[in-house]
Structure 1
Amino acid sequence: MKSKNIIITGTSRGIGFELVQLFANKGHHVLALSRNAEPVNKLKLKNVKTIAFDLCNNNDYKKVEEFIAAEWNQVDVLINNAGTLLNKPFSETTFQDFEQVYRTNVFGVSEMTRVVLPYMKRNGHVVTVSSMGGIQGSMKFPGLSAYSSSKGAVITLSELLAEEYKETGPQFNVLALGAVQTEMLNEAFPDYQAPINAIEMAEYIYDFSLKGNKYYNGKVLQVSNSTP
């Protein structure tokens, strides 16, 4: 397969960290974005550029745009993987809590996509990682009001963008994940053991991001063999 230019957010750990290695080891060029760039830097992978990046910092998006314009001029795949998970009773959840979750999980996805879109061609692919908790009618869990509602928001956003860009591309799809054993899951639910690990899910997302837009656009795929 011809080498592609891939942007991945949330790469310091979990699924994002594994995705960087999968793409790089297959010869693709990767821009790895995370508040903590050190974990990926320590890998010393060829064809990987890291930027210390905060989805909530407007100035950081300029760094991404400047890099694309200077080094690549084209992006083939954007994987909106970064997210924050809050497990807190709704009665205790503050305005600031909701704002923080939405700034990362919704506004960050929106702005990153807006910045990258001018550099994507008709066959480009924007993959947004959502959650089964954001699927209407799925089983819901107490304490996840901010998190799950934010994940529902990016599903609708992706459907709208697929419609808006259907004549010109790129394609937009969402993967609604079930429980995956990551550090973020362990922090929110310390005693829960997920049936799938970060590497296994990263392998699925890797394949889907490169090939899925041939078959899907504006779709939400439920990637879960369990509840949650």
Structure 2
Amino acid sequence: MNHKKVIITGTSRGIGFELAQILADEGHQVLALSRNHTPIKNLKHPNIHSFSFNLNEENDLDQLDKFVNEQWQGSVDILIHNAGSIINKPFAEITAQELMSVYQTNVFGVFQLNQRLMGKMPKEGHVVTISSMGGVQGSMKFPGLTAYSSSKSAVINLTEILAEEYKETGPSFNVLALGAVQTEMLEEAFPGYEAPNSAHEMAQYIADFSLTGNKFYNGKMLQVSKSTP
């Protein structure tokens, strides 16, 4: 297997935590980024590198640049935007600060990280953004998720635009719109709800797609859900 250099955001728990382990166990070099990197650091996996990282801090982005340039000879094969923020609250009660917080992680962070890494990814590279079925036009919507779902719609559109802008030089851009997955974030937003898929199961799917999906897709939104929109 041709081992890859992979960056994953949002790796402190849930899908991102599982995803980092799966790819590292397969022999890939993984840079696992999250504000709280203690859980992933405690794994002491030889193929996982980590440091505390805030998507919206220039100093942290600079630290990322330094790591890639010095440790990975300035190249990244796969970028997985998994970090996410959610708030379940009636529309009329969401504050500007809460709205901005969700968008800072789910949209602006994706935008800024892409900008930082475009010059470091080869034509055959792959950028995978994790969105949600809630961001898909025509899908079932849920009250209380106006900030979250609208942000997830934004990154679907962003993926399509970037695929067009970089179609001659690469990398490829695709987005996965996930249905409900049993994670800590889901439990916080919908206490007591039981999802049909575990974090590990979804992480395995994302890992496989990140390695091979760009051979078949570019600028595509794939719905990863058992239910009909």
Please state which band the TM-score falls in when normalised by the shorter chain.
Answer: over 0.9
Distance 1:109 1:100 in 2: 13
Query: Which consecutive segments of 4 or more residues in structure 1 shift more than 4 A?
Result: none
Q: How many residues get paired? A: 228
Distance 1:172 1:80 in 2: 11
* Secondary structure in 2 matching 1:146: helix
* Secondary structure in 1 matching 2:174: strand
Aligned residue in 2 for 1:89: 90
Q: Matches of residues 72-221 of structure 1 in structure 2 within 5 Å?
A: 72=72, 73-221=74-222
Distance 1:114 1:65 in 2: 11
TM-superposition CA deviations, 1:153-177 (whole Å, max 9, x none): 0000010000000000000000000
Amino acid at match of 1:61: L
Amino acid at match of 1:55: L
Distance 1:59 1:142 in 2: 37
Alignment gaps of 5+ in structure 1: none
Q: In 2, are the aligned partners of 1:179 and 1:226 still within 8 Å (CA)? A: no
TM-superposition CA deviations, 1:36-64 (whole Å, max 9, x none): 11101111101211010011222211111
Moved more, 48-57 or 215-224: 48-57
Amino acid at match of 1:63: Q
> TM-score, normalised to structure 1's length?
0.98
Amino acid at match of 1:216: Y
Aligned residue in 2 for 1:49: 49
Distance 1:91 1:57 in 2: 30
Alignment gaps of 5+ in structure 2: none
Aligned residue in 2 for 1:225: 226
Amino acid at match of 1:84: S
Distance 2:228 2:37 in 1: 33
* Secondary structure in 1 matching 2:182: coil
Q: Report the aligned-residue RMSD.
A: 0.9
Percent identity, aligned pairs only? 63
Amino acid at match of 2:45: L
* Secondary structure in 1 matching 2:50: strand
Distance 2:226 2:84 in 1: 21
> TM-score, normalised to structure 2's length?
0.98
Q: Deviation at 1:226?
A: 3.1
* Secondary structure in 1 matching 2:226: coil
